[in-house]
Amino acid sequence: MTISRTPSPAPPSRNSCESCPNSPASRLRNNYKRSSSSPAGNRQKRDLKGKAILEAVDKSDVVTLKQLAISREGFINNDLRKLAWPKLLGLSENDRIERPSDEVLHAHKDYNQVVLDVNRSVKRFPPGMEEEVRLSYQDILIDVIMRVLVNNEGLNYYQGYHDVCVTFLLVVGEELTVTLMDKLSKSHLREFMDVNMDRTNHMLDYLFPIIGMVNSELRRFLELSEVGTIFALSWLITWFGHVLNEFSSIVRLYDFFIACHPLMAVYMGAAVVLDRKNEVMDCQCEMPFVHSLLSNIPPEIPLEKLVSQAGLLYIRFPPETVELEARILLENRKREQRERDARIAEMKLKRQNGSRIVKSKSADFHSKSDKAMFYSVIKWTVGGVVAAVTVAAVSKSFGLNWVVW
């Protein structure tokens, strides 16, 4: 049996259960064979690793599964991922989330935004997939996202969440994706699902300190360019799913990230930037140029090398050793925000005061003009002394200072 490395073109059945005894994933336990597309040596290694993965799944050996997920090529193929990912997250076959009614799903505050994002996600599906099949997947994807959100009232949808969900959907099907995303949304992805992006931005505060601990010159260059960390935002919140073209590369990284600390995607980002240090340093040290360079990850990246480097960075500089510098960056950003807010408030106050002064002068001008016109009309109508007496009498009745006239 040749084990597929690409997602099946057929959408998962609404009533399918990937963990059922007769499912393809379960039958794999007894039918696991070598992939015929690899050289004999690599095929043998994959065969042995595949058996080790199955054994760890059978024993619910999370420690071993983590080691296998981190090691070269991760869980190897999508059939094994169907078995390993739930076990890695501590899920059982009984962890199922009931589907609410369509009315409940459609009434959620984020429903319209989810539909818009999913409809724009065409490039996340295999290029050869028939349109009818893709549209079916997109409908299921909307359903998956809304089920997780409805089941977790404290979570907020963010743009990029659908990139994560579609990766799982293409590998494990609808029901397992719901349970996997429900678990991940309360663990690895939790910071991204706040009402604002404060905690997400703070996670990115770790990026430059990690880079600087390896290459201080590169960090200074990045800071001097004022590029910030926004170029790495999509890397973090989509686990690189939005920026990598090869689906096999994306799921390989998902093996790695599921098995590791939630900040591992930041360490992976640091590894990517460090690997491109020569390109960065040769770039013009200005924000637009550096941002453009770093935002576009080359199609051919040494993925396994970068995974290894990210793991080594984490071991050498664990989060607790980077936390102080990240905290300083956070406090600096808060101070700068307060200063910006104060300047904006001052500008608004000046505009308001200026507007009041203009209105006051305008009102005074119109008041004097109205009085002058009023007196002129009286003079023209009545004339002479009679006019003066009339004006004085009328002015007094209105409380006006007629002497001015």
Specify the pLDDT at position 177.
98
Task: Fill in the DSSP letter of residue 205.
Answer: T
**Has residue 381 got a pLDDT over 50?**
no
Indicate the pLDDT class of residue 357, thresholds 50, 70 and 90. Answer: low
List the single range of 39-53, 278-292, 387-401 with lowest mean pLDDT: 387-401
Instruction: Give dist(CA 318, CA 314) in Å, integer.
Output: 5
Question: What DSSP character marks residue 62?
Answer: H
pLDDT of residue 1: 36
Which ranges constitute the DSSP H helices of 10-101?
24-31, 40-59, 62-70, 78-88
The string of pLDDT tens digits covering residues 51-74 is 999 999 999 999 999 999 999 999
31-35, 83-87, 383-387: which range is least confident on average?
31-35
Is the pLDDT assigned to residue 332 strictly greater than 90? no
Q: Of 34-43, 80-89, 264-273, 382-391, which range is least confident?
A: 382-391
Mean pLDDT of all residues in the chain? 85
- 369 band by pLDDT with thresholds 50, 70 and 90: low
| pLDDT score of 405 more than 50 | no
Mean pLDDT of 295-313: 95
Please report the pLDDT score of residue 21 as a whole number: 46
> 233 pLDDT exceeds 50?
yes
Domain extent listing, the chain: 24-88, 102-193, 198-317, 331-404
Distance CA 215, CA 337 (A): 29
Closest CA to 256 of 106, 85, 90: 85
Which DSSP symbol is given to 57?
H
**Mean pLDDT value of segment 67-83:** 97
**Is 380's pLDDT higher than 50?**
no
Q: Residue 147 pLDDT > 60, yes or no?
A: yes
Checking if the pLDDT of 124 tops 60, the result is: yes
Q: Which CATH class is domain 102-193?
A: mainly alpha
Structural domain 198-317, CATH architecture: Orthogonal Bundle (1.10)
- The tokens describing 347, both together, are 């500008």
Task: Report pLDDT digits (tens) over 20-45.
Answer: 444 444 444 444 443 334 467 788 99
pLDDT at 76: 97
Residue 36, pLDDT score: 39
In this predicted model, which residue has the larger pLDDT, 200 or 333? 200
Confidence of residue 311 (pLDDT cuts 50, 70, 90): very high
Do the beta carbons of residue 310 and residue 268 sit within 8 Å? yes
Q: Worst-scoring range by mean pLDDT, 25-29, 265-269, 313-317, 371-375?
A: 25-29
pTM for the model: 0.76
CB 189 within 8 A of CB 163: no
pLDDT bucket at 398, cuts 50 / 70 / 90: very low
Report the share of the chain in percent with pLDDT over 70. Answer: 78
What is the model's pLDDT at position 372? 54
Q: What totals of helices (H) and strands (E) does the chain contain, helices first?
A: 20, 0
Q: What pLDDT does residue 19 have?
A: 43
